[in-house]
C-alpha cells in the first residue's frame, strides 16, 4: 500500500494516522471478501457497511478515551453480536439504528415538523430553544443522550475534529484510488 | 470527595479552618460551595470553572441574567459571599497561573508576567488568610506556593503595577477584560490583606465605583463589612449577585458551557454568530454535514455502478438541507478540490469516462447514471453548465466534462464545461436534453 497520508509530527493527527491505517486495512479486507455486485441492494448494503466500517475504525483509533467513541463501539459490537457476519454491518431491520449513524425517513419527517413548529423563537423562552437544540445535538452526537450539557459540548468538539479527520482521510483515499 | 490536587488541598484547609471563624455564614457558604462544586465536576474542571468564571467574563453578557436587574445585595451578605468566592478564586487562579500562561497577557501594556501575577495572588491570599487569623493549616497549604514562585521582593512593585494596569472604565472585549477582571480580583484581595498600602486602596476605590454596572467583573467597592476591624477587604463579586451558592455554581456552570461553546466555535466554519442559539444550530448542521460527507464518500468509493437513483435523491435532499446551512465552508471546498484535481490532471480518463457513459447510455439510461454516480459525476444540460462556468469564472475551456459533486455541492464550485465535439458527446447531448439529474447545490 502506498503511503498516501502525509506523515505529521503533531500528536493531534496521531488519531488520524491510526484511523487511516485501520481504514485501509478494513477496506482491503472488504474488497477481498465481497465481490462487487451490480445489484442496487447489494450496493446499498456495501456502502452502508463501508460507512459503519469508517465509524468503527475511527472509534477504535480514538479508543475508549472519549464517551462518543465508547458509544460507537458499544453499539457496533451489539450490532455485530446480533449479526454473526462480520463484514455486514447493516442493522437496519433488527436493531433500531442510532440516529447519528443515519436517519430513516420517518425520523427526518418528524424532525422537520418539530423545526417548523419551533420557528417562532420570539414567543419561546430562550431556555426552551436551548433545550431543543441540545436535544438535537444529543441525537447527532453518539452517546449524547447520557451526558450533561458541558460534557456534551466537549464531546461534540472532539467528535467534530475526528469527523473532519475522517472525511479528509476518506477523501484522500478516494482521490488516490479513483 | 476529598480532592487530591495540591490546589484543592490549599482550598480545603481554607474551608475547614474557615468554619471555625465566627463570621456570619462564611463557613456555611464555604462548605456549601464545596459541596456544590465537588459533585458537579472533576478536579480539573473545578479549577477551570473557577478560572473561567473570571477569565471568560465576556460570555456573561450573552446570558440574560436576572441579577443585573436586582439591587446590590445587602453588604453583609455580599461580604460573606464575596469572601468565600475570593478564597476559591484566588487559589484556583493561582494554580492556573502556575500551570498556564495567560494568552491575553500581551494585550495589557502594563501587564507583568503571569508568574508575578500568580505570586501576587498568592501573596495577597496569604495576607488575607493571615488577616483572617486562620490557623496555620490554611497557610501551610499555600505557603509553599509563593516560595516556589519566588520574587517576594518583586511582589510589592508588581502589585502596584498590576493595580495600575487594571484601569478599565469600559468593558473591553474578550481576553483583555478577563485579564483585568483577574487583576481586579487580586486588587480585592489586596484590600483584604491588612498590609495593603493606602495608595492602592485609594486607587482602587474610584475604579471600583466606575466598574459598577459596566461588566460582570468582580468589582471592588467599599464593602461595609460585618467585621468593622477590616473595613475594606471584602469584594463584592458581582453587582446584584445573590449570595446564594446555588447561583454561584450556576454561574460557574454557565461559564464552563460558554468556554466549551467558544472552543466549538473555532472548530466550526462560519462561526461569526454571536448568538448562542444560532451557534448551536451551526454546530448541529456542521456535524450533520460531516456525517453526510462520510456517507457520500462511502458510496462514491465503491466505483462502477454504485449508487442508485433513489439513494442519490435522498442524499440530494439531505444535502440540500444541510449544505444550505453550511454555506461554502472549508469542507465544501475541500470536497470540491478533492474531486476537481482528478479531472484537471487526467484528461484521458475523462475522455474514457465520456465514451463509457455514451456507450452505456445507448444501452440503458439507468446503468449510465449509475456508472456516473459511481464515479461521483452527474449529467447536466450544456446550457446550464456554460451558464455556471461563466458565472463562476472558473471555466477551463480545454476540459471536457461536467463534473459536479454529488451531495454537498455549492454553486461556487468550479464547473468544467462540455466542449468536446466527439460523436459520443453528440449522443450525450441529445440524451442530456431529455432528462437530467443534477445534484442540488
ipTM above threshold 0.95: no
Nearest to A102 among B276, B281, B295 (CB): B295
Q: How far is the alpha carbon of A82 from chain B, nearest alpha carbon, in Å?
A: 23
| All three cell numbers of A93 | 431491520
Q: Kindly state the cell numbers that stand for A162.
A: 475526528
Of the candidates A133, A137, A164, the beta carbon closest to that of B290 is on: A164
Q: Inform me whether the pLDDT recorded for B264 exceeds 50.
A: yes
Note the residue count of chain B.
441
The pLDDT assigned to A128 comes to 86
CA atoms within 13 A on the CB side of B5: 15
Which of these ranges, A76-90, A147-161, B276-290, B373-387, has the smallest mean pLDDT? A76-90
Work out the pLDDT band at A2, boundaries 50, 70, 90: low
d(CA A129, CA A108): 19
Least confident interval from A85-99, A145-159, B40-54, B386-400: A85-99
CA–CA distances in Å: residue A165 to residues A15, A61, B75: 9, 11, 54
Residue B172 has pLDDT above 60, yes or no: no
Angle at B236 between CA B232 and CA B237, to 5 degrees: 140
The answer to whether residues A157 and B267 touch, using CB atoms and an 8 Å cutoff, is yes
Min distance B193 CA to chain A CA atoms (Å): 36
Give the span between the Cα atoms of B340 and B405, in whole angstroms. Answer: 9
C-beta separation of A15 from A162 below 8 A: yes
Give the SS3 label for residue B171: coil
Element (H or E) spanning B392, and its range? helix B382-392
CA–CA gap between residue B390 and residue A87 (Å, rounded): 46
- pLDDT exceeds cutoff 60 at B133: no
Among candidate residues B342, B355, B418, the one with its CA nearest the CA of residue B385: B418
Q: What is the pLDDT of residue B233?
A: 60
A31 Cβ partners below 8 Å, 6+ apart?
A: none
The pLDDT value given to residue B54 = 52
Interface mutation target, options A58, A116, A156, A173, chain B, most CBs of B under 10 Å? A156
Question: Residue A167 and residue B306: Cβ atoms within 8 Å?
Answer: no
Lowest-pLDDT range of A136-140, A148-152, B52-56 = B52-56
pTM for this model (two decimals): 0.41
- For residue A149, the chain B residues in CB contact (below 8 A) are 257
Cα–Cα distance measured from residue A65 to residue B328, given in angstroms and rounded to the nearest whole number: 32
Grid look-up 440540500 returns B320
Q: What is the pLDDT of residue B25?
A: 45
> Is residue B229 classed exposed, middle or buried when 0-12, 13-18 and 19+ CB atoms within 10 A define those classes?
exposed
* Cα→Cα distances B141→A94, B10, B15, B145, B349, Å: 59, 5, 12, 8, 72
Q: What is the mean pLDDT of residues B217-223?
A: 42
Cα A96 to Cα A55, A108, B1, B46: the distances in Å are 17, 14, 39, 38
Q: Which of B270, B281, B298 to mutate to test the interface with A (most CBs of A within 10 A)?
A: B298
pLDDT higher than 60, residue B230: no
Residues of chain B neighbouring A166 (CB-CB closer than 8 A):
290, 294
Over chain B, what is the mean pLDDT?
55
Q: Name the residue facing A170 among B256, B297, B305 (closest C-beta).
A: B297
Rounded CA separation B247/A51 (Å): 45
Are the C-beta atoms of residues B252 and B216 closer than 8 Å to each other? no
Collapsing DSSP states into helix, strand and coil, what is residue B110?
coil
Q: Which of B412, B414, B297, B392 is nearest to B344 (CA)?
A: B414
Asked if B308 and A149 come within 8 Å (Cβ–Cβ), the reply is no
Chains A, B: CB contacts within 8 A come to 135
What is the rounded CA–CA span in Å between residue B14 and residue B26?
Answer: 11
Please give the pLDDT value at position B36. 47
Longest pairwise C-alpha distance within chain A:
58
Within 8 A of B286 by CB-CB distance, chain A residues are 160
- Determine the pLDDT at residue B93: 54
- Contact in structure between B82 and B223 (CB atoms under 8 Å): yes
Report the 10 Å Cβ neighbour count for B93: 27
Nearest CA in chain B to A163: B290
Is B226 in contact with B76 (CB distance < 8 Å)?
yes
Phi-psi region of B304 (alpha: psi -120 to 50; beta: other; left: phi over 0): left
Kindly list the distances between the CA atom of residue B166 and the CA atoms of B52, B122, B188, B207, B353, in Å, as whole numbers in the listed order. 18, 18, 12, 9, 68
Look at phi and psi of residue B25 and say left if phi exceeds 0, alpha if psi is from -120 to 50, else beta: left
CB contact under 8 A, A140 and B291: yes
Helical segments of B19-67, H only:
26-40, 43-55
Report pLDDT for B155.
45
Amino acid at each position: 500500500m502506498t503511503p498516501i497520508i502525509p506523515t505529521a509530527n503533531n500528536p493531534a493527527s496521531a488519531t488520524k494516522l491510526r484511523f487511516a491505517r485501520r481504514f485501509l486495512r478494513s477496506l482491503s479486507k472488504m474488497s477481498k471478501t465481497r465481490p462487487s455486485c451490480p445489484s442496487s441492494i447489494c450496493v446499498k448494503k456495501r456502502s452502508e457497511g463501508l460507512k459503519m466500517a469508517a465509524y468503527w475504525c475511527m472509534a477504535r483509533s480514538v479508543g475508549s478515551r472519549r464517551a462518543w467513541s465508547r458509544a460507537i463501539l458499544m453499539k457496533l459490537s451489539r450490532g455485530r453480536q446480533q449479526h454473526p457476519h462480520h463484514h455486514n454491518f447493516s442493522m437496519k431491520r433488527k436493531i433500531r439504528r442510532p440516529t447519528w449513524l443515519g436517519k430513516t425517513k420517518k425520523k427526518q419527517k418528524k424532525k422537520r415538523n418539530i423545526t417548523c413548529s419551533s420557528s417562532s423563537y420570539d414567543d419561546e423562552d430562550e431556555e426552551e430553544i436551548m433545550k431543543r437544540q441540545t436535544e438535537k445535538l444529543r441525537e447527532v452526537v453518539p452517546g449524547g443522550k447520557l451526558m450533561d450539557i458541558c460534557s456534551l459540548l466537549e464531546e461534540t468538539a472532539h467528535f467534530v475534529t475526528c469527523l473532519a479527520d475522517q472525511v479528509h482521510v476518506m477523501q484522500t483515499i478516494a482521490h488516490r484510488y479513483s | 470527595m476529598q480532592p487530591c490536587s495540591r490546589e484543592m488541598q490549599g482550598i480545603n484547609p481554607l474551608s475547614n479552618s474557615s468554619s471555625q471563624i465566627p463570621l456570619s455564614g462564611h463557613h456555611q457558604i464555604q462548605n456549601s460551595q464545596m459541596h456544590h462544586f465537588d459533585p458537579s465536576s472533576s478536579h480539573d474542571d473545578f479549577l477551570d470553572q473557577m478560572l473561567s468564571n473570571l477569565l471568560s467574563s465576556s460570555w456573561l453578557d450573552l446570558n440574560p441574567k436576572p441579577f443585573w436587574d436586582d439591587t446590590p445585595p445587602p453588604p453583609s451578605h455580599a461580604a460573606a459571599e464575596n469572601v468565600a468566592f475570593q478564597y476559591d478564586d484566588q487559589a484556583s487562579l493561582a494554580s492556573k497561573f502556575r500551570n498556564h500562561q495567560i494568552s491575553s497577557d500581551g494585550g495589557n501594556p502594563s501587564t507583568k508576567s503571569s508568574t508575578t501575577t500568580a505570586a501576587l495572588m498568592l501573596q495577597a491570599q496569604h495576607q488575607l488568610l493571615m488577616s483572617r487569623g486562620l490557623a496555620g493549616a490554611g497557610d501551610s497549604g499555600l505557603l509553599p506556593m509563593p516560595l516556589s514562585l519566588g520574587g517576594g521582593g518583586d511582589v510589592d512593585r508588581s502589585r502596584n503595577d498590576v493595580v495600575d494596569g487594571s484601569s478599565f472604565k469600559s468593558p473591553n472585549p474578550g481576553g483583555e477584560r478577563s485579564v483585568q477582571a483577574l487583576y481586579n480580583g487580586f486588587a480585592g484581595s489586596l484590600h483584604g490583606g491588612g498590609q495593603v498600602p493606602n495608595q492602592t486602596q485609594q486607587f482602587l476605590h474610584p475604579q471600583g465605583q466606575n466598574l459598577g454596572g459596566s461588566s460582570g467583573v468582580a468589582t471592588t467597592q467599599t464593602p461595609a463589612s460585618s467585621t468593622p476591624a477590616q473595613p475594606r477587604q471584602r469584594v463584592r463579586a458581582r453587582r446584584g449577585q445573590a449570595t446564594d451558592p446555588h447561583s454561584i455554581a450556576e454561574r460557574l456552570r454557565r461559564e464552563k458551557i460558554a468556554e466549551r461553546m467558544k472552543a466549538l466555535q473555532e472548530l466550526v466554519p462560519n462561526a461569526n454568530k454571536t448568538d448562542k442559539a444560532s451557534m448551536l444550530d451551526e454546530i448541529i448542521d456542521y456535524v450533520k454535514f460531516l456525517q453526510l460527507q462520510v456517507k457520500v464518500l462511502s458510496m462514491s468509493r465503491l466505483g462502477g455502478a454504485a449508487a442508485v437513483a433513489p439513494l442519490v435523491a435522498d442524499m440530494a435532499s439531505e444535502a440540500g438541507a444541510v449544505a444550505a446551512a453550511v454555506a461554502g465552508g472549508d469542507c465544501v471546498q475541500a470536497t470540491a478540490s478533492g474531486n476537481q484535481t482528478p479531472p484537471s490532471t487526467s484528461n484521458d480518463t475523462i475522455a474514457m469516462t465520456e465514451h463509457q457513459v455514451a456507450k452505456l447510455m445507448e444501452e440503458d439510461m439507468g446503468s449510465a447514471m449509475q456508472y456516473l454516480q459511481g464515479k461521483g459525476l452527474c449529467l447536466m444540460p450544456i446550457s446550464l453548465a456554460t451558464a455556471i462556468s461563466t458565472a463562476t469564472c472558473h471555466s477551463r475551456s480545454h476540459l471536457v466534462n461536467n463534473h459536479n459533486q454529488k451531495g454537498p455541492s455549492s454553486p461556487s464550485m468550479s464547473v468544467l464545461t462540455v466542449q468536446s465535439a466527439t460523436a459520443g458527446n453528440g449522443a450525450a447531448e441529445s440524451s442530456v436534453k431529455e432528462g437530467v439529474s443534477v445534484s442540488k447545490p
